Structure 1
Amino acid sequence: MCGRFIITDSAPDLAAMFDVEHEGENLPEPSWNVKPTEQIPIVLESMKSDPAVRRLESARWSLVPTFSPELNAAFATFNARAETVADKPTFRTALAKTRAIIPATGYYEWHTEGTTKTPYFVHSDDGLPLALAGLYSWWRNPALGNEDPARWVLTATILTGPAQGALAGIHDRMPVVLPEEWWDQWLNPHIPGDQELVDGALEASTEAAAGLAFYRVAPITGNAPELLEPVGPEVEVGYTA
């Protein structure tokens, strides 16, 4: 799963990395401890124009489908399981038409043994941001009038799949990390999203997952660069002990 992540790259850097044509307003500041329902930067391609315009926008991390009567769901929607996302009413419309990339400097994962949970920081071995496969949805607040700009809320979720390689020794799930050659295909709103597309993204993520490293960190509290300081040796890519 992916319940906390880090994004420290600036909006201009993300825009350059993902060939963004439009930067939205009120993009969130860097964070070393992003939590569900907080604002996150996402990359999407707007369906309102042809050709589509690639945008960097701020979204609430927890997808709310268009049919939901309220913003706060009864169950967690900050992650979507890649194996079943095409069948779930909460996510299948977004998969079909509104897919996103969620940039991340890395993410935290907890290894559980008995009652002990040990946090790890997972990141790319080259220091570049990860491109996590995601979905987005615009939720309309029925309590606000048509003239209120706050009536539309952009929300997003991160896809997860089975953990690969050495990461399986920490947790059985991990985010779907898209290689660069998959970015255009994943974001293109004119390509229908279905389980076949997700399965292809999962297969393609194997290469990106092989380039991840991780190390143990102290308990995750607060929000500061010190959260990334290792408390043990970094695990080499391919380490399986």
Structure 2
Amino acid sequence: MCGRVIVDYDENMDVAKGTELASWLEQRPEGYQATWNLKPTQPLPVAFTDHKNGTHRFEYAYWSLVPIWSKELKTKFPTFNARSETAAEKASFKASVKNRRCIIPVTGFYEWTGPKTQRTPHAIFGPAPIIPMAGLYSWWHEPDAGDDEGWHLTATILTRASAGVMEPLHDRMPVFMSDELLGDWLDPDTVGDQLLMGAVSDASLPISEQLREYAVKPLRGDGPELILPA
């Protein structure tokens, strides 16, 4: 699973230049603030294609996907992660799999090990300064709002069975977005199905083999000190 991420673009945005990812991350999302302890239901930066005009968008979303048919901006069960193996079949996610796919560019994330009474967080980083995670998004509309107002962008991070350095930490890990499938994934004209989900999941394995991790102190508050080795 993935329930805590790091978003620190200040020195990393320029590093992405010259890559396919760079065209989606030309500027920071409006209201950007670096965070080393971003949690579900907080604003999560996502990049996606605007259905109306095909432009690239990079902005904040509510981190927990809320389907359009929900009566309120929350769900009865956690939706900050979606299993890549079953998302195309699940009522909450299948419409987003079809043509509302996004990437979540983070600079790192956390996972925990140890007994419940003494959990140890591990900071995890990728082979490049920015790790694009595969995700899904949905627009949720306030029931009593007008057609042009009351819209909320919501999103979830896809997960798959762990591999590489993640295996000892947890049985699930994020699906990392490969460069070769990035264009198709973000193209709403590419109809998403379980085959696409499987291809993106499989293509993420080489990235997982290049991850690095180390233990950090318990996460309290926010700040760059959270990623210092314990």
TM-score when normalising by structure 1: 0.87
Q: Distance in 1 between matches of 2:154 and 2:117?
A: 33
Give the match for residue 207 of structure 2.
Answer: 208
**Superposition RMSD on alpha carbons, in Å?**
2.1
| Secondary structure of the structure 1 residue equivalent to 2:23 | coil
Instruction: Give the conservation status (yes or no) of the 8 Å contact 1:23–1:55.
Output: no
Looking at structure 2, the residues matched to 205 and 196 of structure 1 have their Cα atoms a distance apart, in angstroms, of 14
Alpha carbons of structure 1 residues 24 and 125: separation in structure 2 relative to 1, 3 Å: closer
Residue in 1 that maps onto 2:227: 228
Q: Residue by residue, what CA displacement relative to the aligned partner does 1:13-51 show, whole Å, maximum 9, x if unpaired?
A: 3895430388686343111100111111110011112xx
Q: TM-score, normalised by structure 2?
A: 0.91
Match of 1:26 in 2: 30
Contact 2:127-2:207 within 8 A present in 1 as well: no
**Counterpart position of 1:131:** 132
Could you say if the C-alpha distance between residues 47 and 170 of structure 1 is closer, same or farther in structure 2, counting changes exceeding 3 Å?
same
Cα shift at 1:12: 9.8
What is the identity, as a one-letter code, of the residue corresponding to 2:139? W
Contact 2:12 2:130 in 1 (8 A): no
In structure 2, the CA distance between the partners of 1:10 and 1:58, relative to structure 1 (3 Å rule), is farther
How much has 1:183 moved relative to structure 2? 1.1
Higher alpha-carbon deviation: 92-101 or 9-18: 9-18
- Structure 1 unpaired stretches of 5+: 232-241
Residue 2 (structure 1) shift: 0.3
Q: CA deviation at 1:77?
A: 0.6
Deviations 1:186-211 (A, max 9, x none): 11111011110010011100111111
- Residue 6 (structure 2) aligns with: 6
Change beyond 3 A, Cα 1:136–1:24:
farther
Residue identity (%)? 40
Amino acid across the alignment from 1:220? L
Partner of 1:105: 107
- Residue 141 (structure 1) aligns with: 142
Equivalent position amino acid for 2:50 in 1: S
SS at match of 1:190: coil
Aligned to 1:64, what secondary structure does the other structure show? coil
More displaced stretch, 22-31 vs 136-145: 22-31
Name the count of aligned residue pairs: 226
Asked whether the equivalents of residues 160 and 173 of structure 2 are also in contact (C-alpha less than 8 Å), the reply is yes
Runs of 5+ unmatched residues, structure 2: none
**Hey, what does 1:48 align to over in structure 2?**
52
State the match for 1:183 in structure 2: 182
Cα 1:139–1:130 change in 2 (3 A) is: same
Distance in 2 between residues matched to 1:12 and 1:111, nearest whole Å: 28
